[in-house]
A = this chain, B = another copy of it.
């Protein structure tokens, strides 16, 4: 049997209430008593039972993180940011993978609630209406790190659309006409919006939106294969959501002797470590992955703590890393 607050109380000749007080830093304890209790705690190596605490106080000091795939560098980098801030505020993190499956997301959400987490963070955004409904109905604070069509949800994200616009304008200035846009296989709302943005910019410059070609690929290997198709349509620029896919496309060019960036410009939107491990180095939108996580978790701590929050939506600014796969 593990040792409890009662044991400490008995050994220290005080009531359990007093032990609880010193445990929780309540100032209304005589310094002498505090010392005595602390000594006993140390001597018995007493550790409070967080579960009992959670039940009594209705605060578990635990936050749930719902993540599409933890082994994806993009998400694990964000998670690192989350984690560091969570540690700072003494929150434990419960994670759940969902593989972009709405059903699993819903399940994860409910499981976390039943675990009485103090808050929940969604990585990668949510489009599913059922989940959005759940979020809005729940009394548990939720922060989304990523895109959501629902504006009433707290979230932090980066301003992809602006960045994409700048990229496309650059392409046009450099005389590129045919743009291949490579989404993930999941076709999230954000990806669709970015496609629209590309078309929009093209048309602003009096270029038909038929010059944008949509593809999808999820892995490095699929990227390599995909290059053949991109080559066929004679695209002169590629915007790929994922670094890994962009890397695959890049290596596809090597096999076909297509010169990058002279004959084909490539840029990706993820900014994982993979981007600079390519030769030539991938140009990429400099998404502040770690910061998205850190800011998201900080926001959540504020909400959990009933602090004022200025804005529902935090948009982190985005720079573009022009490396070696673009002519600039």
Q: Which A residues lie at the B interface, using CB under 8 A?
A: 47-52, 54-55, 60, 62, 69-71, 73, 76-77, 79-80, 83-84, 87, 92-97, 110-111, 113-116, 220, 244, 247-248, 251, 254, 273-274, 276-279
Contacts and interface: CB of A to CB of B under 8 A. Distances in A.
Contacts of A96: 83, 87, 92-93
Contacts of A77: 71
Nearest to A220: B277
Contacts of A76: 70-71, 73, 76
A242 to B, nearest CB: 12
A84 to B, nearest CB: 8
Nearest to A110: B47
Contacts of A79: 70-71
A75 to B, nearest CB: 9
B92 A97 contact: no
A162 B260 CA distance: 42
Nearest to A73: B73
Nearest to A276: B220
Given A76-B71, A220-B273, A273-B220, A47 B83 contact: no
Contacts of A111: 92
A80 B87 contact: no
A49 B76 CA distance: 29
Given A251-B279, A277-B247, A47 B113 contact: yes
Contacts of A71: 73, 76-77, 79-80
What's the number of copies of this chain in the assembled complex?
A: 2
A87 B97 CA distance: 9
Contact of A279 (B49, B52, B94, B279): B279
B73 A80 contact: no
A116 B50 contact: yes
Given A50-B115, A70-B79, 11 more contacts: A49-B114, A51-B55, A70-B70, A73-B73, A76-B76, A84-B97, A92-B94, A92-B115, A93-B94, A94-B94, A251-B277
Contacts of A114: 47-50
Q: Which 8 A-B pairs have the closest CB atoms?
A: A71-B80, A50-B115, A51-B54, A71-B76, A47-B114, A51-B116, A76-B76, A50-B114
A71 B279 CA distance: 22
B97 A80 contact: yes
Contacts of A93: 94-96
A285 B276 CA distance: 24
A62 B64 CA distance: 13
29 contacts: A47-B113, A47-B114, A49-B116, A50-B114, A51-B54, A51-B115, A55-B55, A62-B115, A70-B83, A71-B73, A71-B76, A71-B77, A71-B79, A71-B80, A73-B76, A76-B76, A83-B95, A83-B96, A87-B96, A87-B97, A92-B94, A92-B96, A94-B94, A244-B273, A244-B277, A248-B277, A251-B277, A251-B279, A279-B279
A254 to B, nearest CB: 7
